[in-house]
Amino acid sequence: MAGRFDPNNAQNLLENADGCCTPRRFAVKAVEHAQTYWNLLEKVEPKELKLTKYDDEIYDHLMQTFPELNEAPYDKITKIDEEWMKSADGKKRWREFIESYKEKVKDYNFGSLIRTDARDEYGESNTIFVTRIQFYAYEIARNRLGLNEKAHEIAKEEAIKEKAKKEKEAAAAAKKKKGGKS
């Protein structure tokens, strides 16, 4: 995931007087969720990843409600068309889809970050804000259809690079601690 975000050091984490979270707090939660998901993509084969106990239902419902997404090679799932989602028809259909999970999926309407292109990592130009159930719907479909394989490989490569960097930093710190002697 491009650039690490430390939610513990983010500013403006306070709740409003009415107990509701600030927009920044929502953003922090969305980033934490995205980082958690990216870490899962690194560690688990996407086709084996289960996001909710309702994965089968969400997947079937998505494909029935949006038949245009259920067309091989699944380009409209691989790369999200934000304009289509925001169109009058898209908004209406998504609203009905989202609300059907009100009593089932916790935080179904919370904001989540999703990669617009499943073949790439999270980044400023590849991320949009959606509801949690939209995130689940797209990512469950991407995982089942094998569309997250490239992201899985990217995440694994990043983890290897990060581990090597930390090992190098630890070795440099140990060397410095010994007084720089070889």
Q: What is the CATH number of the domain that holds 51?
A: 1.10.3560.10
pLDDT band at 130 (very low <50, low <70, confident <90, very high): very high
Question: Has residue 7 got a pLDDT over 60?
Answer: no
Asked if residue 9 belongs to a domain, the reply is: no
pLDDT band at 28 (very low <50, low <70, confident <90, very high): confident
Question: Has residue 49 got a pLDDT over 50?
Answer: yes
Asked if residue 166 belongs to a domain, the reply is: yes
Asked if residue 16 belongs to a domain, the reply is: no
Asked if residue 48 belongs to a domain, the reply is: yes
| Sequence-ordered alpha helix ranges (H) in the chain | 23-43, 55-65, 75-78, 82-86, 88-99, 132-144, 149-177
Average pLDDT over residues 152-180: 89
Which residues fall within 8 angstroms of residue 138, CB to CB, at 6 or more apart? 62, 77, 80, 114, 130
Average pLDDT over residues 102-128: 95
Asked if residue 181 belongs to a domain, the reply is: no
Residue 15 has what pLDDT? 47
- The domain of 38 spans 23-174
Count of structural domains within the chain: 1
Question: Has residue 14 got a pLDDT over 50?
Answer: no
Percent of the chain beyond pLDDT 70? 86
Question: Has residue 147 got a pLDDT over 50?
Answer: yes
Residue type, 65: T
- Asked if 127 and 33 touch (Cβ cutoff 8 Å), the reply is no
- Asked if 58 and 68 touch (Cβ cutoff 8 Å), the reply is no
Measured distance CA(35)–CA(134) in Å, rounded: 17
Residue 181 has what pLDDT? 56
Whether pTM > 0.85 for this model: the answer is no
Asked if residue 182 belongs to a domain, the reply is: no
Q: Which two tokens stand for residue 89?
A: 């028809």
Asked if residue 151 belongs to a domain, the reply is: yes
Residue 12 has what pLDDT? 40
